[in-house]
Amino acid sequence: MVKNTLRREDALTRERIIEEAIALLDSSGEGGLTFRALAERLATGAGALYWHIANKNDLLAAACDAIVARRLGAPPVDASPQDIIRAVALELFDAIDAHPWIGPALTRAPWQAPLVRILERLGQQIRALGIPQAEQFAAVSALLGYILGVSVQNAANAQTGKQLGGDRSAILGQLAGAWAQLDADAYPFTRSIAAQLREHDDRMDFLAGVDLILRGLQRG
């Protein structure tokens, strides 16, 4: 009876399912999202979820879109196109870092709602930069590809770091050590930047790359 009244008070909705899915994904990772676990959290049966969502892919895409929409929520005002692009890029970098399951989810549903949201935000600024119409598509897809690619890579790094024990500098130190021991003939470059690996700042490097692309665009 307690269970029944509980269910009545907060009826199952698509939104509630998505919110709980996000919580599950954030706390237990990609593998933690299970229809059984989700149903238990929502005090319902696994089959009930299918009344509101089509399948797991649909759920993942919806969860992803909810995060992206939230992060891109605040409309930018009074800033240069470059600054807005940088802000959007950092917002996505941080969002994917906070929710590492977004990367795979975005890749699995290309050109759907979340990606189009980002495309639009970046595209408006590409236009504001005065890039000719014929080059806008290439410009925005380069920017989009870079932002998502580096962010996903960074989140994956952080994630495996967490799985290995948490201490970031220890992990990086260990990796740097492994690189330093690579074959000197085959891997001269990797060996030479092993030290930099330990000191570098992913977020700053990411932003530097965005600036690189912006610079290239303006002198195209």
76 DSSP assignment: P
Sign of the CA dihedral running 81, 87, 90, 94: negative
> In which residue are the tokens 């891109």 written?
72
The least distance separating a copy of itself from the CB of residue 140, rounded to whole angstroms, comes to: 8
In the list DNA, a copy of itself, none, the entry touching 220 (Cβ below 5 to 8 angstroms by class) is a copy of itself
- C-alpha span between 126 and 124 (Å, rounded): 6
Kindly identify the residues of this chain, within the stretch 199-218, that bind a copy of itself according to CB under 8 A: 200, 204-206, 208-209, 211-217
Nearest to DNA of 108, 200 (CB atom): 108
* Residue 57 near DNA by CB under 7 A: yes
- C-alpha span between 209 and 164 (Å, rounded): 28
Residues in CB range of 203: below 8 A, 6 or more apart: 90, 93
From residue 8 to residue 47, what is the string marking binding to DNA with x (rule CB under 7 A)? ---xx--------------------xxxxx-----xxxxx
> In which residue are the tokens 């969002």 written?
95
From residue 81 to residue 120, what is the string marking binding to a copy of itself with x (rule CB under 8 A)? ----------------------xx--xxxxx----x--xx
